[in-house]
Amino acid sequence: MTTLTDIYDKMISNGSLEDDLCQREIVEQLENISRQVSNLKKKSIFFRKPSDINGAYIWGGVGCGKSMLMDLFVENLSIPNRRVHFHAFMQEIHNSLHQARSSGVKDPLALVANEVIKNFKVLALDEMQIKDITDAMIVGRLFNLLFDGGVVIVTTSNRIPSDLYKNGLNRQLFVPFIDLINNRLNILNLKSKIDYRKSKLRGTRVYFSPLNADTKNKLHNLCRDLSGNESEDFHLIVNKRKIKFPYYSSGVAKFTFFELCGENRGPADFLAIVDSVRVLIVENIPQLGRSNFNEAKRFVTLIDTVYEAGILFLCSAVAEPEYLYLEGEGVFEFERTVSRLNEMQSESWAQRFNSPNQ
């Protein structure tokens, strides 16, 4: 039988990956979990007991390959599984909880958890982070229910479990969840110092202008190199409004300018979008001025949000930053946006991206 190590070796031999000892250690751990869950196929679907298989919590810096290794694990499972971004998963849980409560069921969370248990034996959650108190207050019991229902969980995060929901409101109520994670998941630190995304960007432009077929192809190829996977279905709910991502894969999101700034979006929308990605790509930024003043104002807010979050920003535009906004109300205010767009093209900006706390 082909093992995860065999597949990893093949990817190295064909040039898809660089050999990395730290990644190999994680592959071995995931291979052990894969072996154990494969035995679940032998059990009757009517036979249930709490799973004694520990999953995995893989944490480490941005770009070190956490999501890639988790995807490798999931893609080679022969048991019902689901791979989903943690933020999207929790939004689904909240939506299902709302529906369950509306129906008057006695224990809404148990009902929602049972739906997951019924459909999947392995749950892969990418980029676990807890920033919302509504997530913090339910995630402990939710995971307890999933574990007791026999679901094996593999998740990735930029933070060690003890740093989840750090300084959050009523954090003392969240601490039992950290203990649960430490007890039920193998805590695996991917210590690789190589930032594979950043190495792909070394010496590469991140701001492409003017708008033509050449710049479009270059940005498309860079997006493909950074994400490496096909787009997955991903959306956010902000103030009861749905924001669908036209392209999302492994923490990389891509929008056109009008998909982001042509809609009636505010700071909360941009904050939610930026908070859910590590790389944001915006295509086809037009000339800005009197004719599209509202769109320009939203673009300024977007760049401020990206800048404060410290994520990677790639884009294609009709002109260089200094020539995007030449006339009309807002020219003076746009000077800060020009400065930030230029700074986000620098090597020092890429260094910020490598911080595990980003």
Q: In terms of domains, do 162 and 227 share one?
A: no
Contacts of 183 (CB under 8 A, 6+ apart): none
Beta bridge partners of 346: none
Q: Helix 293-309 and helix 267-275: axis angle, to 10°?
A: 40
Q: In terms of domains, do 217 and 343 share one?
A: yes
Q: In terms of domains, do 301 and 182 share one?
A: no
Count of domains for the chain? 2
Q: In terms of domains, do 206 and 320 share one?
A: yes
| C-alpha span between 300 and 318 (Å, rounded) | 16
Q: In terms of domains, do 177 and 244 share one?
A: no
What's the mean pLDDT in 31-35?
91
Confidence (pLDDT) at 48: 44
260 vs 43, residue with greater confidence:
260
Q: Is the pLDDT reported for residue 353 higher than 60?
A: no
b/e code 140-161 from CB counts within 10 Å (16+ = b):
bebbbbbbebbbbbbbbbbbeb
Number of neighbours of residue 187 by Cβ within 10 angstroms: 14
Band (pLDDT 50/70/90 cuts) for residue 199 is low
User: What's the whole-model pTM score?
Assistant: 0.67
Examine residue 78 and state whether it is found in any structural domain, yes or no: yes
| C-alpha span between 67 and 56 (Å, rounded) | 12
Q: Which of 224, 216, 223, 261 is nearest to 243 (CA)?
A: 261
Please write the tens of the pLDDT for every residue from 268-306: 899 889 988 889 999 999 999 888 999 999 999 999 999
Q: Which of 202, 59, 177, 41 is nearest to 122 (CA)?
A: 41
Q: In terms of domains, do 95 and 202 share one?
A: no
Confidence (pLDDT) at 41: 58
Report whether 47 contacts 150 (CB < 8 A): no
Please write the tens of the pLDDT for every residue from 149-167: 999 999 999 889 999 988 8
Which of 189, 209, 233 terminates a domain? The answer is 189
Please write the tens of the pLDDT for every residue from 201-250: 555 788 999 999 999 999 998 888 888 667 778 888 887 788 999 999 87
Q: In terms of domains, do 230 and 171 share one?
A: no
Q: Which of 71, 354, 26, 68 is nearest to 201 (CA)?
A: 354
Per the structure, the complete domain to which residue 54 belongs is given by: 4-189
Enumerate long-range contacts of 238-246, CB under 8 Å, 24 or more apart: 238/268, 238/269, 238/272, 239/268, 241/269, 243/269, 243/272, 243/273
| C-alpha span between 288 and 324 (Å, rounded) | 6
Q: In terms of domains, do 200 and 184 share one?
A: no
- Domain of residue 105, CATH code: 3.40.50.300
Q: In terms of domains, do 9 and 58 share one?
A: yes
Q: In terms of domains, do 176 and 203 share one?
A: no
Q: In terms of domains, do 344 and 231 share one?
A: yes
> 168 by DSSP, 3-state: which?
coil
114 vs 11, residue with greater confidence:
114
Examine residue 358 and state whether it is found in any structural domain, yes or no: no
45 vs 2, residue with greater confidence:
2
Q: Is the pLDDT reported for residue 356 higher than 50?
A: no
Q: In terms of domains, do 27 and 89 share one?
A: yes
Residue type, position 110, single letter: A
- Domain of residue 311, CATH code: 3.40.50
| C-alpha span between 228 and 246 (Å, rounded) | 16
| C-alpha span between 290 and 296 (Å, rounded) | 9
**Secondary element (H or E) of residue 308:** helix 293-309
| C-alpha span between 171 and 318 (Å, rounded) | 47
